[in-house]
Chain A
Amino acid sequence: MTDGMRIVALKFQLNGKPVEMECEAEETLAEVLRNHLNLNGTKVSCEVQVCGACTVLVDGLPVSSCTYLAYEARGKNVATIEGLEKPDGTLHPLQQAFIDDFAFQCGFCTPGMIMAAKALLDENPQPTRAEIIHHMDGNICRCTGYVPIVAAVQRAAGVMAKESKK
């Protein structure tokens, strides 16, 4: 209903599948995911790129989808929390580790936290504690005090290392 709004065509890969749609030029990636594509796993909190709740991966790099224009994702690969679980229901090692280590409470930061951790492990499969803390510093959790999240990322790294040796 906005005066003079501009509709743009948008094509990108979402969790490995092609998406073709139209959106308003000023819509953020989070708005497109949540409002148009019904992917509500990506959470929006601070809206100023500080809390990390809305983290998704664009071409493998973590971005804050609350301030990232959907238009910028055209032609790129977008990965969200909904794409991590395998079709047979097997969870990604990070998802399983978050459960095993009690690495969430309210769960509102969790999708962004897991996506940020995935970006780290994809790049650096065996991070040190200091590297985890440095990489994850852009994600806020108000419930857990971060301790179990660090443990979960370490556990997932271990599981993924074993899996890759198989």
Chain B
Amino acid sequence: MSAEKKTDFHVVNHSIPRRDGRVKVTGKAPYVADLKLIGMAYAKVLRSPYAHAKIVSIDTLRAASRPGVYCVITGNDLEGLNPYYGHAVKDHPLLAIGKVRYAGEPVAAVVAIDERTAFEALEFIDVKYEELKAVFTPEEALAKDAPLLHEKQFEAGALRGFEGEVTAGKGTNICQQHRIQWGDVEEAFKKAAAIVEGEYYFPMAYAYAMEPYVAIADVTDQGVTVYSSAQHPFMVRHDLKSIFNLPVSKVRLIVPFVGGGYGSKSYTKIEPLVAACSWKAKRPVKLQLTVEEAMLTTRSDDAYTWMRTAVDAKGKIIARQAKIYMNTGAYAENSPLVVEKSTNRCVGPYAIPNVLIENCSLYTNTVPASSYRGFGCAQVTLPGESQIDELAAKIGKDPYEFRLANVAKPGEEFFPKMRPFDGTLKEDLETAAKAIGWKNPLPKGHGRSIACSGSDAGAYPLTSTAVRVHADGSVTIMTGSTELGQGSHTVLPQIAAEELGVPFDNVNVVSSDTAITPYDRSTGASRTTTLMGSAVLEASREAIQQMVVMAADVLKVKVEEIQVVRGGVRCGEAQLNWSEVITKFYALPDGEVIGRSYIRKSGKFSQLPVFWEAACTGVEVSVDQETGKITMEKLVTVGDVGLAINPALAEGQDIGAATMGMGIGLFEELVYEGSQLVNGSILDYRLPRFSDLPKEVELHLVQNQDGVGPYGAKGGGEASLNSMAANIANAVDRAVGVRIRQAPLTPERVWRALKEKELQNSKVQKFKE
């Protein structure tokens, strides 16, 4: 815990209304979908009907000669570009080249005077395919006679965030492997007092950012400018720089408000294709996908996990072993990092002395998987937190007490070589138990569960910012962090206002324009408050230091004689606010001071993860035994956030994440039948709606100022999703005595499990008779 624990906050730790409130409730907030450039054309995409096929020929003549069509672009037209991109592995062509690897892959694009003209021209493109054998699951992809998706080896993406080796293209369909190991697992399982073992499946999920992928590109001899709904503009810039072989200074990404991300808009998506369209059409081009097309662009990795966990006679967890197969789809996207993270996240948040986790992701002929809120954690928390309950039941312990006895303790180095645990899970669990009424009697058919998760969060610490103090004392923050709805445009000014002692309303934010705002690596992994927040805090302090020197100059005293007070300086009787310091220094009512900050992997950020993202959720469910339908009676979230810069926003992240997790726990799942995604529309993909709202909801924050971020803050935003599927499975087991190891727990799956149990019981009954 930090020695300088500040508590007398003026702006921070208050639920100040959102900075983007007025523009969003009046419909004035700009999203890329709302933007138009002069002379802008529109693109539409032709997609492959086959999961795996050679492209024999493409004839674009009929489409290209239609009225209103500027050009048609295919994989044959990309000479002069480096058409393969990828954050981890450069395996992804911006349009299919030579073959297609999933049904829905972009094969060609038409650029036309308007969207409808472009759309209508698509059917005049003649593509001849030669179908190839396809694989859809990790098991099929691993088979000896499996067709190869990728024949050649790829370059590593220059922005790799994982330490693993690129296995893609080495003669198998393996995309990435990762393994962690400590202690002696075999020996531990031999000595165990009790063991549970099982196989689990976590489904493919669709994030459904309500604003589908959209981008406008303008490629000229001046460079490449792209307006995009991207979460990580600087990473997209890097891919575009490589594709067009340009210096960084000639690639500009501009991101206005983003209509939801949840990980699905992290890393590069449609930007290379739009930029190639503009490059060929020689004019600005807009490409807006439909939701159906967005569903063919990114999904979460589905995961098949075998796991076993062991406990000793005293009730201490002594070993965990898991083997995970993840289905990464046709291209690696960010899945290699998801593989690494899900491997690590099998352990947390427990101190387990013997661990062996092996993870392998496979290329298959399905929609490419990438980041999804929680980054692989939900996939392995379903098995992980299910087994905690299964194990507790086996040794006759209360699962809540069992967790209390085993969770990582504050400061404990529970994961070798990583940052010691910086949360207070015991307090989190106690808060959740109290809120859910753990010991209270329950009606028949009801069950409760409390589960937790701890993720190595914060991604990589590389963030910079500039805080400009103007001559009137108002402030502009230049930040590369994107406003996705999480509230960064509110939280960052709160920090600057706190440090500089200026009114919150006088602090403005300019964000996410790579030509203007300093480098920030990403907006994801719950990192913005911690890393960009720290950068804003440091830059504000650096501006103050500069203004102290300026004040000394103005007052003709030594720098040491200047005392910083809230909103300005004092020296003896003389007191100057920032505006007075700046205007007196420049002798004009103009000018500014620029505070800067560069955060890197050093100092308090030298150890990874940046922080452990910990949270608990608690649920009470009731199960209709006739239909198998689960009703959410109550939901509790506990965010272990160190300090909430804006408590209402932090709670908003928790309830939002928990609701997404509830969706996967109850009904969300992308379903493949053969080569086709059969529920690739919002008509068929079931999302949480108002009527799915739990009957009661309680949101709690635990604030011990134990984080590495500003004033002891840590990130939130993902954690409450991670434990929800396991929580629902555990609560169903406690309600009606069936253990379901697959999400979502649809009424059919619950009903089948209940029937199976009835059948077993009647067999046992007959045997006894």
Contacts and interface: CB of A to CB of B under 8 A. Distances in A.
A44 interface: yes
A149 B17 CA distance: 15
29 contacts: A1-B114, A2-B116, A40-B33, A41-B28, A42-B27, A43-B210, A45-B210, A45-B212, A45-B291, A82-B27, A91-B25, A99-B18, A105-B484, A105-B656, A106-B211, A107-B23, A107-B29, A108-B259, A110-B25, A132-B690, A134-B690, A134-B691, A139-B690, A141-B210, A142-B262, A142-B656, A146-B659, A146-B689, A150-B690
Contacts of B262: 142
Contact of A106 (B23, B33, B210): B210
Interface in B638-684: 648-649, 652, 655-656, 658-660, 681-683
B440 interface: no
Given A110-B24, A137-B691, 12 more contacts: A2-B117, A46-B682, A95-B26, A99-B21, A102-B18, A102-B652, A107-B485, A133-B690, A141-B210, A142-B207, A146-B690, A148-B655
A105 B211 contact: no
Interface string A83-122: 0110000010001101110101111111100100000000
Contacts of A75: none
Given A1-B114, A45-B291, A80-B27, A108 B691 contact: no
A105 B487 contact: yes
Nearest to B637: A145
Main secondary structure of the interface of A (DSSP, over half): loop
B58 interface: no
B208 A1 contact: no
B312 interface: no
B291 A46 contact: yes
Contact of A85 (B26, B681, B693): B26
B27 A41 contact: yes
B290 interface: yes
A56 B482 CA distance: 29
B404 interface: no
Contact of A81 (B27, B68, B113, B659): B27
A133 B689 CA distance: 9
A36 to B, nearest CB: 12
B22 interface: yes
Interface of A: 1-2, 34, 39-48, 50-51, 53, 80-82, 84-85, 91, 95-96, 98-100, 102, 104-111, 114, 132-134, 136-137, 139-150
Main secondary structure of the interface of B (DSSP, over half): loop
Contacts of A2: 116-117, 120
Nearest to B20: A107
Ordered nearest first, which 5 A-B pairs have the shortest CB separation? A41-B27, A106-B485, A105-B485, A108-B259, A107-B24
A47 B291 contact: yes
Contacts of B291: 45-47
A136 B689 CA distance: 9
